[in-house]
Chains A and B, each alone.
Chain A
Amino acid sequence: MSSKFLGIAGTVLLLAGPAFAHHSFAMFDYNKDVTIVGEVKELQWTNPHIHLLVNVPNGRGGMVEWDVEGGTPGNLRRNGWSREVVKPGEKVSVVIHPMKNGTNGGMLVRASRGDGTAIGGNAGG
């Protein structure tokens, strides 16, 4: 099932892409990549950082909400994002650095649509 949560742990990610916002974010585990697949609940296009809320099937017939924190609206705009780049209900796949504390959230690394096309330019965070 493609809509299952897929945990891909242990991938060391070193990003050397263009300047986009990142966090002082000690709360995220930069040593892990996790991919979540679900439906967009809401894109909060806010400063200082955007939040992409994604409903992800929990494997037991229900949904759990994941909070994906991205960069600044300004930097994301320059990377091909906008406040309407995704719509509620749209299927997305999002790669994140997960929360260290195990809660359902993480830092945006990159995202794609249901058909596999990338959202925004290269890494979307």
Chain B
Amino acid sequence: MTSNISRLRMAALALVVGVACASIPADAQQRTPASGNGGEGNGAQVPDFSGVWRTINAPAAPREGTTLRWLPAAGELPPLTPAYLERYKRVQASRETGSEETEPVARCLPPGMPYFTLAQYGLEIVQSKDKVGFFSEWMDAYRRVYLDGRTMPQDFDPSYMGYSTGRWEGDTLVVETVNLRDDTVLDRYGSPHSDAMRVTERIRLTAPDQLENAHTVYDPKAFTKPWEFVRRYRRAAKGNDELHENTCTEGLRLAK
């Protein structure tokens, strides 16, 4: 029997595509969401991202410096400073022994950002004028993005998903996420970050049924430069557009 701890493994895939180079014609679908849902940005019609989306895979490739391969195990190392690169190497050394001590998700803790969007799982978006919700099939994790112009209240507690606000720039939803905890990992490889991390996402439809999310992750303490990658999605086909529960704590029930 595998050890009980193995039952707590969490599934994920770190898909790091690298720097964005998309030049897909932006014939993005424009529609006014029904019944008052969906948004109007500055009075103008904005795209509606609502629906279930599936990630588009990138080719598998192992990351240098580790034998661990995720699926698809593409990945460029974040631009870590020498000090954080040393931390990263300690993580890899631990994992090479088979240890999961460096993976908070294996203990059913939330993935946090940007691990949330690097996961290779279904994503459901619910959009209204004032808020966008991102629900992942992975870990049943949820993010909310405020579009109503609010700013984060003072002394708000840092959180796994952080505090996200968004604004429309034409057809693109620009999301800024701050106030992230420093005890999460960036990706499937356990790449570290600091408490100074923040994330900008630029989300747009590149075709009626294709979504693109270009990330820029800033961490002036841990990175030598911003870390950029793009996630792409296709709209889930009818009949395959339902997400299933992924309750990590069910694995805790099995642990004795």
Interface residues of A (CB under 8 A from B): 14-27, 30-31, 44, 46-49, 51, 65, 67, 69, 71-75, 77-78, 99-101, 103-105, 125
Contact = CB atoms under 8 A, between A and B. Distances in A.
B103 A22 contact: no
Contacts of A100: 97-98
B60 A15 contact: yes
A72 B244 contact: yes
Given A65-B1, A103-B2, A23 B57 contact: no
A73 B242 CA distance: 13
A48 B57 contact: no
Nearest to B244: A74
A19 B2 contact: no
Name the prevailing secondary structure of the B interface residues. loop
Contact of A31 (B67, B245, B251): B67
A19 B121 contact: yes
A34 to B, nearest CB: 14
B106 A24 contact: yes
Interface stretch (B8-16, B24-32, B127-135, B195-203): B8-16
Interface residues of B, number: 53
Most chain B beta-carbon neighbours within 10 Å: one of A22, A69, A75: A22
Contacts of A99: 2, 98
Contact of A15 (B71, B99, B248): B71
Given A23-B9, A24-B106, A14 B100 contact: no
Nearest to A27: B98
Contact of A26 (B12, B100, B120, B250): B100
Interface in B66-84: 67-73
Nearest to B254: A46
Contact of B251 (A21, A24, A25, A47): A47
Contacts of B10: 23-24, 48
29 contacts: A14-B69, A19-B13, A19-B55, A19-B57, A21-B11, A23-B10, A24-B9, A24-B12, A25-B9, A25-B100, A26-B94, A27-B98, A30-B68, A31-B67, A47-B246, A47-B248, A48-B246, A48-B247, A48-B250, A51-B2, A65-B1, A67-B2, A67-B6, A69-B2, A72-B138, A74-B246, A75-B11, A75-B137, A101-B98
A25 B94 CA distance: 12
Most chain A beta-carbon neighbours within 10 Å: one of B72, B103, B139: B72
A18 B121 contact: no
A104 B55 CA distance: 33
A27 B100 contact: yes
B243 interface: yes
Given A22-B13, A48-B250, A74 B137 contact: yes
Contacts of B98: 26-27, 99-101
B11 A72 contact: yes
Given A27-B98, A27-B100, A48-B250, A19 B120 contact: yes
Nearest to A103: B2
Contacts of B245: 47, 73-74
Nearest to B8: A48
B11 A71 contact: yes
A11 B5 CA distance: 26
A42 to B, nearest CB: 12
